[in-house]
């Protein structure tokens, strides 16, 4: 049975790096390259980070119900083609989706047992630092864009309660190991049976990152974004 993993994060949280490292170390895990109508940034290549298409082409595919999920962000469309799920099932592989909070809700409605993982920066200040560093590297340093992304991040983070797991990307190597443990623990849990010592470690790590077990860790992060850890609060 194909497991669908959803990974979401505010822009600048290091999600792409974590996803790339996960794909190097976990076998039988297909990756959906999202379609987008935005232009490539920096060294991005068509078919690698995204499949870049025109707005007209995206809307044609949308009318054909070709997307498992889609969203419009900053006036650009993003979407996951259904064919990636169909191809993963044919190969008996799992599928990894790198999508935003809007897409997560859509996929969960269609695939309720999908596993959702939300990646957070350690603080708002650290996220701002990362955004500035990335914007400078891309030669697109704009105060307006940075502030807009920080405001968007705060709105996205409010959706953390919708996710099964929370991962704080503070120390990169540790975060890579923790993300891998969550993915492999879900495979182990669904297979059942006796577990090896290594599998038990994955299960323990994953359980530690269950949303309900992350409240104390989340509190200072949410406060740095002027958000509340209490249900429904801001």
Model pLDDT for residues 173-206, shown as the tens digit of each residue: 999 999 999 999 999 999 988 999 999 999 999 9
Looking at every residue in the chain, the average pLDDT score rounds to 93
The set of residues, in sequence order, having a beta carbon less than 8 Å from that of 210 and lying 6+ positions away, is 164, 165, 166
Q: How far apart are CA 205 and CA 41, in angstroms?
A: 35
Sheet with 94-98, edge to edge strand ranges: 29-31, 94-98, 4-8, 115-120, 165-168
pTM: 0.91
- Give mean pLDDT, residues 16-36: 96
- The fold for domain 4-25+96-224 equals Rossmann fold (3.40.50)
pLDDT digits (tens, 9 = 90+) for 124-136: 999 999 998 888 7
pLDDT at site 185: 98
| Band (142; pLDDT cuts 50, 70, 90) | confident
CA angle in degrees (0–180, nearest 5) for 139-140-144: 155
């Amino acid at each position: 049975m194909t497991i669908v993993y959803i990974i979401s994060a505010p822009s600048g949280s290091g999600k792409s790096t974590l996803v790339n490292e996960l794909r190097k170390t976990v076998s039988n895990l297909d990756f959906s390259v999202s379609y987008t109508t935005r232009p490539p940034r920096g060294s991005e290549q068509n078919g690698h980070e995204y499949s870049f298409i025109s707005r007209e082409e995206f809307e044609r595919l949308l009318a054909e119900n070709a997307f498992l999920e889609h969203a419009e962000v900053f006036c650009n469309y993003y979407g996951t083609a259904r064919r990636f799920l169909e191809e993963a099932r044919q190969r008996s592989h799992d599928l990894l989706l790198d999508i935003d909070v809007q897409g997560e809700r859509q996929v969960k409605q269609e695939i309720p047992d999908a596993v959702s993982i939300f990646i957070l920066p350690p603080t708002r200040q650290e996220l701002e630092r990362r955004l500035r560093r990335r914007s400078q590297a891309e030669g697109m340093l704009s105060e307006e864009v940075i502030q807009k992304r920080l405001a968007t991040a705060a709105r996205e983070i409010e959706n953390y309660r919708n996710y099964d797991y929370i991962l704080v990307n503070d120390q990169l190597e540790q975060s890579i190991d923790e993300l891998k443990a969550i993915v492999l623990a879900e495979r182990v849990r669904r297979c059942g049976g006796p577990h090896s010592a290594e599998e038990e470690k994955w299960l323990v790590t994953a359980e530690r990152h269950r949303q309900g077990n992350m409240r104390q860790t989340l509190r200072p992060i949410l406060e740095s974004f002027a958000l509340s850890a209490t249900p429904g609060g801001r």
